[in-house]
Amino acid sequence: MDMIKVLVVDDSVFMRRLISRLITEDPTLEVIGTARNGLEAVTMVKELKPDVVTLDIEMPEMNGLVALTKIMEQRPTPILMLSSLTQEGASATITALQNGAVDFISKPSGSNSFDLFKVKEELILKIKQAAQIPLRNLIINNIIVTKINVERKESAPPRVIKNFDQVIALGTSTGGPKALETVITALPADFPYPMLVVQHMPPKFTKSLADRLNRLSGVRVVEAEDNQPILGGTVYIAPGDYHMIAVKTNKGFVIRLHQEPQVNGHRPAADVLFDSISQLKTLKRHFILMTGMGSDGARGMLSAKQAGAQSTIAESKESCIVYGMPKSAVELGCVDHIVPLHLITTKIMEVTRARNG
């Protein structure tokens, strides 16, 4: 088996040594170089041709976001961002994920051995996952995603649609932030139905994701809150570390959040959301699975299909950063439509018969 070659980029000598040590404790991983800033990183990626890059965000001379863009332009490579657990760090990480990074790792919070052990496991796992991503899919994703630089005017009030007869539930994981941007920003401003989304991601990051998508989209995008009324024309992102379900009350449909045990190793979990949406028999229910590691959502989609789902959609292998979750659903035989990322919104408009444009 070939060694996985990793380039470590961080402006801190301590962090470069620590990350390198954690990586090389796995016999299948090799650190082939370290860089002190984005400028060095861009040059070393071209010279050393690593399989995976770990990239810090805040660095002198050239920061990680600029370096990420240049690397993806010059020599597309799977990149894992090293993120601080601050709100600013979360926001920058979301930007990086939507600009081509495949995943992120939170920096160790100190020299506490338990913190380092947790980070080591995650770091090694994500490096190995990133190394398996087909380069073709990495390049296709960067071509597919149209950069949307014009932020929606804050003066445009969100549309409040209380009466709707359809609902969309969507699950995604690795590669999801970029995929969600492609799908949600393409929805027309007058899209009349609610969409509930599970993106596997820790707290803070889901809020930053929702805020960014809200700025870029015609529809309203929010991080879901407990007991929040569900309205048409709104996308609800499940908050990190909370399962999200939808229930029918005498006042209408409402979101409930809870912290019951993880499902498929996740909280939020797509299966939990899908199971709750399946119960809303008075609505036409649509289910979508996009890029992600593992099988979360596949069982829920099968149950939804058996419970009379109006449609089930899976992202096709050709555009997935990781073809895990959609593949699991396809293998269960519960998918009506298999479509590439850039056509998922078109398919949503088609199955809901919402107005195109």
Joined together, the tokens standing for residue 4 give 């996985």
Which residues, listed in sequence order, are joined to residue 314 by a DSSP beta bridge?
Answer: 289, 338
Residue type (1 letter), 273? L
3-state SS assignment for residue 134: coil
185 and 80 both lie in a single domain? no
Report if residue 236 sits inside a domain.
yes
Express each pLDDT in 161-220 by its tens digit.
888 999 999 999 999 999 999 999 999 999 999 999 999 999 889 999 999 999 999 999
Task: Classify residue 323 by its DSSP letter.
Answer: B
Shared-domain flag, residues 247 and 319:
yes
Catalytic residue among 296, 319, 328, 342: 296
| CA dihedral sign of residues 352, 186, 299, 274 | negative
List Cβ neighbours of 174 (8 Å cut-off, separation of 6 or more).
Answer: 102, 103, 129, 200, 291, 292, 293, 321, 322, 324
Nearest CA-CA partner of 83 in 184, 180, 203, 249: 203
Same domain flag for 193 and 96: no
What distance in Å separates the CA atoms of residue 301 and residue 299, rounded to the nearest whole number?
Answer: 5
Place of tokens 């700025």: 215
- Domain annotation covers residue 120: yes
How is residue 99 written in tokens?
């600009």
Domain extent at residue 256 = 166-352
Beta bridge partners, 6, equal 31, 52
Catalytic residue among 56, 200, 266, 286: 200
Alpha carbon of 179 to those of 85, 113, 199: distances in Å?
Answer: 23, 35, 11
**Ranges under pLDDT 50 in the chain:** 146-155, 356-357
What is the SS3 assignment for 235? strand
Do residue 107 and residue 210 come from a single domain? no
Q: What gap in Å lies between CA 278 and CA 107, rounded to an integer?
A: 38
Which of 84, 112, 132 is the endpoint of a domain? 132
Rounded to whole angstroms, how far apart are CA atoms 144 and 218? 19
- Flag whether 259 is in a domain: yes
Helices (H), the chain: 13-24, 38-48, 64-74, 87-98, 113-131, 135-144, 176-184, 205-216, 270-278, 298-306, 325-331, 344-352
Q: Per the structure block, which two tokens stand in for 224? A: 């879901």
Per-residue burial over 65-90, b = 16 or more CB atoms within 10 Å of its CB, e = otherwise? bebbbbbbeeebbbbbbbbbeeeebb
Q: Is residue 147 part of a domain?
A: no
329 three-state secondary structure: helix
Paired tokens of 287: 């289910």
Q: Are 58 and 201 members of one domain?
A: no
pLDDT at 1: 63
* Cβ-contact 16, 10 below 8 angstroms: yes
Residue of 20, 83, 106, 173 marked catalytic:
173
357 belongs to a structural domain: no
- Please tell me whether residues 8 and 73 are part of one structural domain: yes
C-alpha atoms less than 13 angstroms from C-alpha of 282 in its C-beta half-sphere: 9
Q: Tell me the pairing of strands 52-56 and 79-83.
A: parallel
Q: Please confirm, yes or no, whether 173 is among the known catalytic residues.
A: yes
For residue range 135-144, list pLDDT tens digits in order: 888 887 776 5
- Amino acid identity, residue 89? G
Q: Which CATH number does the domain housing residue 64 bear? A: 3.40.50.2300
The rounded distance, in Å, linking the Cα atoms of 340 and 294 is: 19
Nearest Cα neighbor of 243 from 180, 300, 320 is 300
Q: Which residues pair with 172 in a beta bridge?
A: 199
Amino acid at 315: E
Contact 148, 267 (CB under 8 A): no
Question: Count of domains in the chain?
Answer: 2
DSSP letter at 315?
E
* Residue 149 maps to a domain: no
Q: How far apart are alpha carbons 98 and 92 in whole angstroms? A: 10
Residue 57 has what DSSP assignment?
A: S
Residues 178 and 303 in one domain: yes
Looking at residue 287, which CATH number applies to its domain?
3.40.50.180
Residue 244: inside a domain, yes or no? Answer: yes
Instruction: Please check whether residue 137 lies inside any domain of the structure.
Output: no
